[in-house]
Amino acid sequence: MDICKTHENASKCSMHTMECFKVLSTQAQKISIATLCGLFGTLCVVENSLVLYLIFSSPRTRKKPSYIFISSLALADILASIIFVFSFVNFHVISETNFSKEAFLLQLGGVNTSFSISVSSLLLTALDRYISIVKPSEYKLLMTRKRAWVALGVVWVMCATIASLPLLGWNCCTLNSTCSELFPFVDENYLSSWVCMVLVLLGCIIYAYAHVLWRARQHVAYMKKHQVQVGKQNTRMRMDIMLAKTLVMVLTVLMLCWSPVLILMIYSTFVRLSDRLRKVFAFCSTLCLLNSMVNPVIYALRSKELYSSLRMVFSKFRRQLKAPENSPEAESTHKSSMIET
């Protein structure tokens, strides 16, 4: 199509341009992307729903600020998986043709909001752990339950507002400006601004965790130098080593999942992308969904409190499965069958 070959035409706001962004050309590509979205999305919903249940079923965990932030992360990841899978599969795989500009920007705003809240919740979790290790004596005074909920409220409102800007008028159709080559109707300047915001959030997360890791190593060195009691030293060292491993996993997964998408977004603002790169971007977008799937394992299930709660849930479930066999009704039925025999 000629309309897809020139940057000038690709920047116009006609409904024909929607076809230019449907880059999955073969049935195999559509099946692959639908399978990835279905698998990652289902696991993401199940895992994060389990995390929310474990947090709010325990009075002890649901009152702690750290678990309030983790619950926000889990809820944002659930919303991200549902909205992303629905809109992405509907657009690229089913190739729905009756999309209006408002409908598309509304769905994109939902995906943008949920992923932005997810990253912002990661930042709040990082700041929570930063304060807990930098100022442990003042942690309970600085990080109260009320402040945690206020911080979450501000984050959710800000992310929703920023994500709604294209729908409210900051789009290339209303402004008659240059459209993005990755998303229909999205202004190139808005996309650049959103990428910069995400990069700032990721930079703050990396700084916070790097500082926490440095303080943990510094604490271990201090204990070795002053020859703290062996038992206490070994216990503390094991905690620091586990913390270090968790932080390395957090940073590695975060960068692996978000770097390809952000790099291609930045690259698209300077150079026109080929069809092959836009297909790569479509597949790399599922990595953000993968990050939402891995978040519960890293942030929640490695917690001793949530892990013990999870074991209690499974043990209770096993008891319920065995209960019918040992119930009075089952015994009476068994006895009556023996008498009849």
For 116-138, how does the pLDDT look when each residue is reduced to its tens digit (9 = 90+)? 998 899 899 888 888 887 887 88
- What distance in Å separates the CA atoms of residue 337 and residue 165, rounded to the nearest whole number? 71
- What distance in Å separates the CA atoms of residue 71 and residue 63, rounded to the nearest whole number? 11
Tens-place pLDDT, residues 193-228: 999 998 999 888 888 888 887 877 776 676 666 655
**304-309 average pLDDT score:** 78
pLDDT tier for residue 239 given thresholds of 50, 70 and 90: low
**326-340 average pLDDT score:** 45
In a domain, 2, yes or no: no
Contacts of 153 (CB under 8 A, 6+ apart): none
In a domain, 168, yes or no: yes
Domains: count for the chain? 1
In a domain, 12, yes or no: no
Tens-place pLDDT, residues 280-298: 888 888 888 888 888 888 8
**263-290 average pLDDT score:** 86
What single DSSP character describes residue 296? I
Return the CATH number at 204.
1.20.1070.10
Task: Identify the H or E element spanning 252.
Answer: helix 230-268
pTM of the full predicted structure? 0.81
In a domain, 125, yes or no: yes
In this prediction, residue 1 carries a pLDDT of 40
In a domain, 215, yes or no: yes
In a domain, 250, yes or no: yes
Task: Give the structural domain span for 236.
Answer: 24-310
In a domain, 322, yes or no: no
Contact indicator for 295, 121 with CB cutoff of 8 Å? no
Q: How many beta carbons lie within 10 A of that of residue 80, not counting itself?
A: 26
Residue spans of alpha helices (H) in 17-100: 17-20, 27-56, 65-88
Q: List residues bridging with 187 in a β-sheet.
A: 179
Pairwise pLDDT comparison (252 vs 168), residue with the higher score: 168
In a domain, 11, yes or no: no
- What distance in Å separates the CA atoms of residue 35 and residue 61, rounded to the nearest whole number? 35
